[in-house]
Amino acid sequence: MSPKKGDSVAPPTVGAEWHIRYSTNEAIKGWHDLETRAAENLRKAWDVMRHDPGPGPGKPTNRHHQLKGSLATGTQSGRILPRWQIEVTGGDRIWYLPDVRRRTVWVQYAGAHPKATE
C-alpha cells in the first residue's frame, strides 16, 4: 500500500534495526485499532520487532514467542518463515514473520486474541 497524504511517516531504519511492513490489509486495520486502544503497549511491541524480532533460544517469553504446530510458520512472497506472536495486552496480539534475509518483519495480524490459538 502506497502512502497517501495524511498518512503517518515511519522512521527510517538505522544500523541493525529491522524494517516493519504490513503483510495484509487486515493487519493495517488491526494495527490502527490497537493504536487507539493500547498505544503505549503497541509502541513497545513495535520496538521489539524493530530491534529483536526473533529472540534466540532460551529468550522467548510468555508474551513474545514463536507459535507452535501448524501456526509455527507462515508464507510471505512465496517463502516459508517462522511466525511469532507478541501479546500487546491480555486480549490483543500481533502475529508476524521475521525475514532474516531481508531484515524485514512482516506483520500478518494485529488485534484481538485469534481464535486459532485457543
Residue 68's domain is classified under what CATH number? 3.30.2310.20
Task: Give the pLDDT confidence score for residue 55 in this predicted structure.
Answer: 63
Check whether 56 has a pLDDT greater than 80. no
Q: Say which range, 5-9, 46-50, 71-75, 82-86, has the weakest mean pLDDT.
A: 5-9
59 domain-assigned: yes
6 domain-assigned: no
Half-sphere exposure for 96 (CA within 13 Å, toward CB): 32
Check whether 57 has a pLDDT greater than 60. no
2 domain-assigned: no
11 domain-assigned: no
For residue 84, give its domain range.
19-113
Measured between alpha carbons, how far is 19 from 106 in angstroms, rounded to an integer? 9
Total of domains in the chain: 1
Task: Give the pLDDT confidence score for residue 6 in this predicted structure.
Answer: 78
118 domain-assigned: no
Residue 19 main-chain phi, psi, to 5 deg = -75, 145
13 domain-assigned: no
5 domain-assigned: no
Task: Give the pLDDT confidence score for residue 77 in this predicted structure.
Answer: 94
* Residue 107: how many other CB atoms lie within 10 Å: 23
